[in-house]
Structure 1
């Protein structure tokens, strides 16, 4: 099962450029190819692009920053922080940046390493292990930051959605089946989180303090944090929004990503992100001061593994250390990353280091393609003097298509005409155990209206609707919601469909 975090990354990797060249890339040109006038013209139309895309999608709020040649040449907010309230978005409005946390976190790690080769060190973390003991003993920081540890796609995310904390999640990754170590790519928030936490522990501090002392404070990123409480208590912060069936947007959910803070828990502003982009594009310096070592930072921009052998352009896409890394037809490196919370945020950063040009787009709406499309549209116009593709249409369609792919193929809302009746409630009630997902309980509703399934440590309760025979369904919720999913009772066991992507979703009855 692929979630929207990976969908955003896949979208950026696949559609970053229509002129990408297959690996290995040609040598980069010695001089920038974009003129100042071309960049200025692209910036001049940026406000109109953002407002048009907001009107087209209904996304409530956006904040954008563009940097070029170590200067912030555009910084502006659009729309409102929360629907139904008058407060507007500005350059200092705090947004949850979701998976843009990954390149920020790789910057932090680069800041504490003394040599680029230290990315290849094994840094143990108590309570974290993989299914293969040899891999556990040899997996490196670079392996986990480039998603090549062998963990399956989004391993651990479902545990987070059920309410388990970081300690439980990292401990239970040892039960996940592994694909070939260093030979397979799969996007994993908690693999990266384990690596970052191991680095912080090795330095005797929390991840937040390491990020503060290494990057946020030295770089003057005064409104940036890795802790949800800082975002929630910021006076000027953007609420997360989801789209309603009638096309309007509402702030119906709150996403607390503390369990995966290094991978998805950063909150920041367009102004702070502009400072970070300047640092990235200046090789680790900012305002004449060395913040991050140039060589350890440069390592983050190098491809570590193929993320897509053949993408939509017919070329290859790569992942570095917290970055999507690609090459265009001129041999220029393009760095990018998208971030997305299905519960209400979408972000994008895209940079051309040779041109010393970058854009960041932060939004307070669930992913419909706007953040990525603004960035792609901007670079498209700067390159060609015109927009060659309806990026919002293409990317919005890709997000919608991939979202549908995660849903069950069974239409649980419409039981078959030949559906068999369920047994008595007592045939299903009881406690069921699973070594990965913990305890599940099935209880009969006191009013005789049916059954309720309880999952997770809190627990979360889901009313069951009969479908056919011993199969029921329930509506999933949370960041990884996939609509209705199946719950099938058989031979003293309960199999929950959407938890079973890695064949870990069967619970044994006590």
Structure 2
């Protein structure tokens, strides 16, 4: 009996040692897989894509080994710092797999909660959704698998008062769009709510919980979060967006401020660290040393298909239009599930302001591919074919794309044209007096926004590149930085050409009239003032180069000479939020003019009283 036990222990030790060695090996070759040839193809393809994507990083794992982990290009088009396998990128919605895994893990360790636990049981008896059905019955699983049928409302995150704590009270004001548990609607806000639930159950800050539960045991030493990262770090890829055909820099403040809800897209990582994250999932929750980090059954729950997606997330990658289909049709918990060349796959894309990412796992082959880039990549035009090319090389089959088609995709299979420019007219006169628009408007879910007058500048200022140390001050100082005039003030004497601006939290858009929706009506229209006005929002300040439309300003009610409400389809198209005036404007423009001189006099008087 003792000899049997001793023999079993030796066998177990050998297995553990084999697993450890198996998973820590890196940069090894695989039969039929030519690392240098593939890397050369990636490098060549990037040369023709660098005008949209200054830098990219790629990692490939198979059977626990890292076959390839490299960077290509530079961290910024204005610099010469090369991207490496340790360069940090925001991986955006790849964060959702981390959020789901963390919440499942802390619930399991608490011994009190699981995926079937009602959300209300964790957040308390006063928590509620819009209706009683969701309030009483919505579970953790419903939240993480996008079954709530509540529109995304992602741009709520521009509100500087929206935090992980306040989102708990805000969601009760978000109206549902379709039937609970039968309709898939992707929601970043629900994953923000899941972040708060994790903090409640895990009794700690979300970032700290991720570090202790995953980053440290998996050895993901370079991974961090947009809420904490210093984008001035030389080995961090800089955020850029494609604006009117050119790459433009995103304010360094934006990722930090917009990422407050963390669980939807705040994860920052590297090619090397993502190789460890992929192997963690491929091997059922163990790390490179063979130590169990998360229960295998729990990891399998994360990957289980749960909610049917109404249409493929990659419509340009479907036969018969292209040779091979990449399909993702069902959502799991932070993962898509689908097929490639007959193999079941897991995957997810990520898109944030300035970054694009994608990960695909082939569990049956213990294979994973990760790609990330800064810049833009609409319709997966680069990530998609690049992932397919790499997978085909790992699978040992002839790729359906080559260097040329990596550069031209979606051509020759698709003829995709960019959307036409919005029909706005900066010179178009407004339907009402300027004073009618100015004031503060409120929506119970979104909070408050203001319409103010700002200076009309002929040229766009570049997004200011604030250091991460100043980001915490940016919410309070935003109005000052953008030189917005006080609500109700019409300073035509000091500002020869004032323009309406919409300020929402730390975001600002200059409002430019769009071609009116009623233009097709007959000429018997009595007054333009009787119809809604549509505006195009040109991003400024922290939100420079992020334009949105339409903002719809509704005409005053009978007997009123001020605007009373506006709706923001620019924020959410399914059910646009309606903002109602809470601070009426004044028709007496001269009584509300605040000049620089008078403001200085008031400040001096105030200081003299303090110092007296």
Normalised by the length of structure 1, the TM-score is: 0.80
- Is residue 2:333 matched to residue 1:321? yes
Q: Give me the whole-angstrom Cα distance separating, in 2, the residues matched to 1:453 and 1:397.
A: 43
SS in 1 for 2:359: strand
Moved more, 65-74 or 230-239: 230-239
Label 1:107 to 1:505 Cα distance change in 2 as closer, same or farther (>3 A). Answer: closer
1:176 aligns with 2:174: yes
Please report how far the alpha carbon of residue 351 of structure 1 lies from its aligned counterpart in structure 2 after TM superposition: 1.0
Contact 1:372 1:395 survives alignment (8 Å): no
- 1:358 is aligned to 368
Distance 2:544 2:418 in 1: 12
| 1:302 corresponds to | 304
- Structure 2 equivalent of residue 282 of structure 1: 283
Greater mean deviation of Cα atoms: 436-445 or 93-102: 436-445
The equivalent of 1:13 in structure 2 is none
> Are 2:509 and 2:547, in contact at CA under 8 Å, matched by a contact in 1?
no
CA contact (8 A) 2:441 2:450 kept: yes
Q: Unpaired segments of 5 or more residues in structure 2?
A: 1-28, 320-326, 454-489, 517-527, 558-563, 585-612
Q: Note if contact 2:536-2:547 (Cα within 8 Å) is conserved in structure 1.
A: no
Matches of 2:117 and 2:261 in 1, distance apart? 22
Q: Deviation digits for residues 373-403 of structure 1, max 9, x if unmatched?
A: 3212211344463222546655699999698
Residues 171 and 268 (structure 1), Cα distance of their counterparts in 2 relative to 1, 3 Å cut: same
Kindly tell me: are residues 192 and 442 of structure 1, through their superposed partners in 2, closer, same or farther at Cα, counting changes over 3 Å? Answer: closer
Helix, strand or coil: the match of 2:39?
helix
1:142 Cα shift?
1.6
Shift of residue 487 of structure 1? 3.2
Q: Give 1:60's match in structure 2, choosing from 54, 64, 69.
A: 54
Q: TM-score, normalised by structure 2?
A: 0.68
Matched, 1:100 2:89: no
CA deviation vs aligned residue, 1:298-319 (integer Å, no higher than 9, x gap): 1111101111356754877111
Name the SS for the 1:217 alignment partner. helix
1:398–1:227 distance in 2 versus 1, CA, 3 Å: farther
CA RMSD of aligned residues (A): 3.3
Is the radius of gyration larger for structure 1 or structure 2? 2
Query: What is the deviation of 1:421?
Result: 6.2
> What are structure 1's unaligned runs of at least 5 residues?
1-34
* 1:296–1:113 CA distance, 2 compared to 1 (3 A): farther
Counterpart-to-counterpart distance in 1, 2:390 and 2:80: 29
Tell me the distance in 2 between the aligned counterparts of 1:85 and 1:269. Answer: 19
Matched, 1:506 2:610: no
Cα distance in 2 for partners of 1:334, 1:485 equals: 38
Residue in 1 aligned with 2:64?
70
Contact 2:354 2:374 (C-alpha < 8 Å) held by counterparts:
yes
Shift of 1:476: 4.1
Cα deviation 1:95-129 (Å, max 9, x = unaligned) = 11111111122232343343999222224225853
Q: Deviations over 1:444-485 (max 9, x none)?
A: 552353442333235735344475534252324349945453
2: distance between equivalents of 1:356 and 1:46?
19
Q: In the TM superposition, what is the alpha-carbon distance from 1:232 to its structure 2 partner? A: 3.1
Q: CA offsets per residue over residues 398-422 of structure 1, 9 Å max, x none?
A: 9996984xx99x722388xxx8862
In 2, Cα distance between equivalents of 1:449 and 1:428 = 16
- Assess if the C-alpha contact under 8 Å between 2:104 and 2:114 holds in 1: no
1:139 CA drift (Å) = 1.7
Give, in angstroms, the shift of residue 231 of structure 1. 4.7
Corresponding residue for residue 413 of structure 1: 425
CA distance in structure 1 between the aligned counterparts of 2:199 and 2:39, rounded to whole angstroms: 40
Larger deviation: 270-279 or 110-119?
110-119
**Matching residue of 2:508:** 460
- Which moved further from structure 2: 292-301 or 486-495? 486-495
Question: What's 2:187 paired with?
Answer: 188
Q: Indicate if the aligned counterparts of 1:146 and 1:320 stay in contact, CA closer than 8 A.
A: yes
- Report the number of matched residues: 463
Higher mean alpha-carbon deviation, 192-201 vs 445-454, is at 445-454
Q: Which residue matches 1:18?
A: none
- The separation in 1 between residues aligned to 2:340 and 2:45, in whole angstroms, is 26
Aligned partner of residue 498 in structure 1, secondary structure:
coil
Q: Residue 260 of structure 1: SS of its match in structure 2?
A: coil
- Give the deviation of 1:67 after TM superposition: 0.8
In structure 2, the residue matched to 1:27 is none
Within-5 A mapping of 1:239-318: 239-245=238-244, 247=246, 249-254=247-252, 255-256=255-256, 257-286=258-287, 287-308=289-310, 312=315, 313=318, 317-318=329-330
User: Aligned pair in 2 of structure 1 residues 252, 113: CA closer, same or farther (>3 Å)?
Assistant: closer
**Shift in Å at residue 363 of structure 1?**
1.0
Change in CA separation of 1:306 and 1:94 when aligned onto 2, cut-off 3 Å: same
**Residue aligning to 2:214:** 215
Structure 2 distance, partners of 1:186, 1:333, is: 23
Verify the 8 A CA contact 2:192 2:263 in the aligned structure 1.
yes
8 Å Cα contact 1:83/1:250 also seen in 2 = no
2:346 aligned partner: 335
